[in-house]
A and B are shown apart, each in its own frame.
Chain A
């Protein structure tokens, strides 16, 4: 049984079922049924841990479009398993939380359908081994994120945030797709594992760096890395469970996952090392710096998420150096960074998830999440306060919480990196631990703001809408579980390390088995400990004196943000495309025809001349009899006379001359079926024209300007000459052997002597059937055009 494929499909099936069952659940909240999906999936994945922790991997393939190498190959290794557990585990907690969070006026079926859609798509991203399948699921996560951000679509900000996130992530996704196609054109395979295995041979390929940067573009936009981070704060318009799930725990980690997944492919290259590390560090610093100035608790958490994602990203960048060294002590030193990245990825999901849920509770119970209006909530929400302390102290990297462990490892990695003997690190290497340290100071400050501004200090109850109380127990279960995890992971980190992180590490930096350390909280008095102590001291000082240095935020001019850039870009894009469109989309049919025919002349005629295909050879022509010559002359004269016809009746009769002449040609050219058909059709068409002339005015002289007429004449003659030249060229040679001989077996194959009819009724019956369909649709079209007149409604008294 294809367990993994089933795991991806279950959420999609559940999504489809939701509209069917939601009306039948009665008093039971539909969330409880939805909760089963992530719970079951989580259990499935938990049972994979024993297999995966022995470094085995699961590969299951279903052929999808094998002819172009697209197979639905799923692949489960340590890295995928961590992600899958995060997706389903956090998914369970978030669904549980949302049952109490959503108000009865919200549309549950929509919410849970989108959420399950996302869950399935996200599992697809982390489990698929095929680049194109991954891409499809990748964009599906963007779409479900769009739907969830715009869940309260009556709010203008929700719509703006949803559009922004979609535009930025899909823009990156397109870049990533281009990168994937480059990878395919280099290696000839769409399998991620195979690409990674052979990539070593292609480092000098001209597409190597373009592919790398395009894949990174996808990762950076998805994971909200600087300068693409601007969509994440606006995504906070989504309901809080969504923010906790998509925009901190899972979807934004898809970019991180992508970087980790492609580390075996690109890792060990200097450009990869510098790009990932620097973008990560800049994001880490900028996110932390901006988080401090936020007044909305969710915005604060959004910037903090950006910052933390930057931290994980930079760790993957630093760790990629391990692949440069390979197995051995050097490789192990830098491999530690990857280990720290994986560890922090899990930790971040736990504490950020808890913090978002805390904000959700505050918002739900108090009615606001504006720091300036909050304060002194500790007395009213003691349990929530405990969660907030645990979550934010873990985020700040304080001991007895899991964040401390991964933060320490981050410092170790950054200090090690400063002494890296490759990639010209020597000149700028020292900046790495310095930026890391400064960013961590700001992290500490905003964590303190989160706790102290919300829960301590004077109570502003008069400003609040209602007196806050603890929420129902159901809303507290999920953050409580996460807080237990935060503390448990501090005391028993190696349980996670040995069973999940070590196999995952092998997936990211294969061939360096010794890189997985034994995690311990106490390393003696080393640099890292002093860095942490420094953060606490300096951070506390900065937090207490925040008013005196807050004005540095005013140094940034108001118009100089990336969001302003984004907005004005969108505005200009609309303006320019509108301008272009209105200039060529004139609404005049003749103009469009002129474009089409000019293009035809340029492309077909141009190709004919510039490829040197043009050749005229009359030797194979059959002889011309006198009748045929005369008939040709008659047709040419009749056709040209139509142009000068004063009355439309003359023109129609001349057209009839053309039609009947062609029928005679069909006779001369041994095509009796065609001759018969043409005769009847020409008669019926002429009747049709005459009938319609009852309703149409006599045609007036074409009173277009001389310039237009000359332009039209040039286009018409050009097209005529092009067609003639193409026809003559085709007639002068044979590129392929004719397939028509086959049809001469019509008596044996189709039981008919009339070859034309056998082709129509048997060999190419599909054409004929569709043709009769076209005829039928045209007939219906004529009927509806005439009978169903605008404003009159259907004609009731038509005869039947």
Chain B
């Protein structure tokens, strides 16, 4: 699918960056504001989809050598591992913990294991959504 539309390409270069930033912001702010792994993942995925729509998939694949199947598998694995780890500390499967730390630049910051879990979810969502769209659009 190659659409030689210069305007689309130029605009999407900028827009993709904005969407990606927005997606990462949503992912990180999910703990206290609207957002989280799912939404962040979906927004990031839609940025990728836009890239694949405006450029042909070969160009994007060269610039971005990610196997989205493996990405989604890694996401599931990450989410599961983050659930298994607490079991070694005598906690139940998937129990999360959090704490507050003083970091040099950010000041008092909350760090929570749920972020790792959410990251797994986000990676799964990105991997799966892009993989589905790519598989269909590349079918001859």
Instruction: Give the B-binding residues of A (Cβ under 8 A).
Output: 672-673, 676-677, 680-681, 683-684, 687-688, 691-692, 695, 750-754, 756-757, 760-762, 765-766, 768-769, 772-773, 775-776, 778-780, 782-783, 786-787, 799-800
Contacts and interface: CB of A to CB of B under 8 A. Distances in A.
B139 A681 contact: no
Given A672-B34, A752-B31, A761-B114, 10 more contacts: A677-B38, A683-B46, A684-B42, A687-B133, A688-B133, A750-B98, A762-B96, A772-B124, A782-B136, A799-B58
A751 B31 contact: yes
A782 B137 CA distance: 12
Interface string B26-43: 100011111111110011
Please classify the interface of chain B as helix (H, G, I), strand (E, B), loop, or mixed, using the class held by over half of its residues. helix
Contact of B33 (A754, A760, A786): A754
A752 B125 CA distance: 22
Contacts of A754: 30-36
A154 B133 CA distance: 52
Nearest to A681: B42
Given A677-B42, A752-B112, A775 B124 contact: yes
A765 B69 contact: no
B124 A680 contact: no
Nearest to B130: A779
Given A684-B129, A779-B132, A761 B37 contact: yes
B76 A776 contact: yes
Counting chain B residues whose Cβ lies within 8 A of the other chain, the interface size class is 35 or more
10 contacts: A676-B35, A680-B46, A687-B49, A753-B33, A757-B30, A768-B79, A773-B76, A786-B139, A799-B58, A800-B67
Nearest to B33: A754
Given A782-B135, A799-B61, A769 B94 contact: yes
Interface centre among A765, A782, A799 (most CB of B within 10 A): A765
A753 B114 contact: no
Interface of B: 26, 30-39, 42-43, 45-46, 49, 53, 58, 61, 67, 69, 72-73, 75-76, 79-80, 83, 93-94, 96, 98, 110, 112, 114, 117-118, 120-121, 124-125, 127-129, 131-133, 135-137, 139
A766 B67 CA distance: 27
Contact of B69 (A752, A768, A778, A779): A779
A224 to B, nearest CB: 51
Given A673-B34, A772-B76, A765 B83 contact: yes
Contact of B98 (A673, A681, A695, A751): A751
Given A751-B31, A761-B114, A684 B125 contact: no
Contact of B118 (A692, A756, A761, A773): A761
Contact of B124 (A687, A776, A787): A776
Contacts of B39: 673, 676-677, 680
A762 B33 CA distance: 16
